[in-house]
Structure formats: structure tokens, C-alpha cells
Amino acid sequence: MTDQEQQKVAMVVVAHADDAEFAAAGTAALWAQEGWDVYYVLCTDGGSGGPDEATDVSPTARQQIVETRKKEQRAAAHILGVKDVIFLDYTDGQLEPTLQLRRDIVRLLRRYRPSRLVFQTPERRWTPALSIGAYHPDHMAAGQATMAAVYPASQNPWDFPELLEEGYQPHKVSELYIMAAPVVNYGVDISTTLDRKILALRAHESQLASNIDEIEQWMRAWAKEAGERHGYTYAEEFHRVENR
């Protein structure tokens, strides 16, 4: 293996606070437990995460939501052993897979140089049926932008040459883990980290407090079913790709 492939750095790119906890927190905690530096990247500011029945949607109210969600995400990351949380602060609910977003992700890939990258699927998954929340347009925008950033842009010096001028050399990510993909082919054993995953979910009080017990039951059942498919007690599933 090359020095780059041996570098124990992982990055998780998602649209919103709590997205990573639902799909990949057990994996992030496991890797951190194994000595990996794990970084979270959140594309949006989380400012649309208020209640549906809200009547005050002023900039002040929105900023309060942003601050709350960032605080909760940092608390969840601390529980999991995530090294840092990076916020790109695009407007929640309006994320698009623009060249600007792609460039921002490429910059982070070249700066932190992860060997493993976890991100949201850019495609819908119809079977088995998922909650409508899984199909948030921000999720797919984040997935599409990240897919384009990791290949070819991150490893291609001809893409975004201005990043070379900033001092960010091309970087090739070795492993991709795509969350909630239409086809899954890989399971990660989270038997030792499922409880921390649940604690991290509980840290997102503003979003989940009203039904967190139900969510916990659902998450444990989902992890058990995934585990059974891969020979573990509990697992998280991904579509895994090796970038050779």
C-alpha cells in the first residue's frame, strides 16, 4: 500500500446536521475507535430545520435554528469521537450540486486527504421503501456534488487549477462508502458502537426529541436486520467502491 492508502483519515459529507447519525454514525464511531481521524462535512447551515407549524421564519429565528443545530451536531460528533465538524453553510433547503459546491468539497478532500469517504447517494432508492425524508433534495444534491468532487476533480490537477495556487495538491480517495444507495454491497459491523450511535442521535434534541424512543427502536431493528445480512449482530450498509 502507498503512504496515501495507509493514511487513517476518513471524511463524511452530508447535507444536514443529523444526516450522518442516521446512516453512518456507528461506522464513524468504529473508525474513530480504531484510530482513524474522522471529519464531518455539513453542506448546509441547517436553518430550515424548524417546526413545520412555525409562523416566525424571520432571519433572527432562522439564525437561532442554525446555532442550535450546529451545537447539537458538535455534541453528537464528540460522542462518536469525530475529530472535527466543518460547516460549508449553504442555505438549507436550497442546496444545488453547483460547481462552487463541488470546488468547496474538492478543497476539503485535498486539504484533509482522506483515504475513506462516506456520502449520501445521488440517486433515489425505491426498494425497500424509505421515509420521504430520505429523498430530501438537499441529500441528493450533496451526494451528486460529492461524487463529482471525488472523481475526477479531487485527483485531477486540471480540475480547479486555482486550488493548486492555494497549495492544495491532487488527492485520490481510496474507498467510497455511499449511504442509502439503490444497491448495497457492504456491511460494517457496528455491534460495539450502536449504543454510541443512539446517544449521538439523542444529541439532536431540536429535531428528534419528540419521538426519539420510537427512532431508537427503529434504528436498532434496522441495524439488526442489516447485521443479519452480513453475519454481524448489528451493521450499517453501504455501496462500497474501491477507487483503484
CATH number at residue 9: 3.40.50.10320
**Are β-strands 9-14 and 116-120 bridged in parallel, bridged antiparallel, or unpaired?**
parallel
8 Å CB contact between 141 and 199: no
Q: What is the pLDDT of residue 85?
A: 98
pLDDT mean by block of 10 residues, the chain; 244 residues: 67 97 98 98 93 83 94 98 98 97 98 97 82 85 98 97 97 97 96 98 95 96 97 98 93
Q: What is the pLDDT of residue 1?
A: 44
Q: What is the pLDDT of residue 3?
A: 47
Quote the strand ranges of 151-234, DSSP E.
175-179, 186-189
8 Å CB contact between 138 and 15: yes
User: In this predicted model, what pLDDT tens digit does every residue of 53-76 receive, in sequence order?
Assistant: 777 889 899 999 999 999 999 999
- CA pseudo-torsion sign 65, 50, 90, 197: positive
- State the residue range of the domain holding 41: 3-242
The C-alpha atoms of residue 107 and residue 170 are separated, in whole angstroms, by 9
- What domain count does the chain have? 1
List, in order, residues 6 or more apart from 198 with CB less than 8 Å away.
Answer: 216, 219, 220
* Closest-CA residue to 146 (of 183, 177, 115): 177
What strands, in cross-sheet order, belong to the sheet with 84-90? 84-90, 37-44, 9-14, 116-120, 175-179, 235-242, 186-189
Q: How many CB atoms lie within 10 A of CB 63?
A: 12
